[in-house]
Amino acid sequence: MTDERASARALEIVTVDSPRAGILRRRAQPVRGVTREVRTLIDQMFETLRHARGVGLAAPQVGVGRRVIVIEVEDRRLALVDPEVLKQEGEVTGTEACLSIPGLLGDVPRSARVAVRARNRRNRYITVDAQGLLARVLQHEIDHLDGVLFTDRVRDPKTLRPAGGEATEVAPESAASAADIHVSGDAVPDDPRPASMKSKP
């Protein structure tokens, strides 16, 4: 592990009832170049995600208005900078939650499969093809970059209900498998640790 990663610290998550909640409704700004500062932010976001026991996190949720998201589902760990949805297919409704809206669940329709282009922490372009839970997490986090919350996507308000236990970022109703995602381009893993050291959602 590099010194940068070793020094990563968890950040405070901005919630909808926070004085800083306005950032959750603003469109985040492009990063354009992955600098040491951006890599440090990525590492801090992963650490924050680990502490919160979530599966995804967007930079605005930690008070940073930049287009950066991190995802950790099972053994897959991704950091995406300036992500852009290239393709969407199908539709499926699933239960979601949000670290920025603690204590609430809702049923949200999402595309069943997506293709997303972004840069990784090495500033190289990759394309992520995902379905299932990973596709849902990608869409949820990219929404955050555009100031959109999962409650905005709920079609039937009657499905909004209290969450039992701790809130996670997208309710992980089913585990993601290796078949749910394909990464092309510079697909060097974002986390060099062995699987036994990685946190679970």
Tell me which long-range contacts 92-95 makes (C-beta under 8 A, separation of at least 24): 94/136, 94/171, 94/173, 95/171, 95/173
96 is catalytic: no
- 3: helix, coil or strand? helix
Cβ–Cβ under 8 Å, residues 75 and 195: yes
Q: Whole-angstrom Cα distance, residue 71 to residue 154? A: 22
Q: Which two tokens stand for residue 146?
A: 């555009």
Residue 136, Cβ neighbours under 10 Å: how many? 29
In the set 141, 166, 169, 173, the catalytic residue is 141
Supply the residues annotated as catalytic: 141
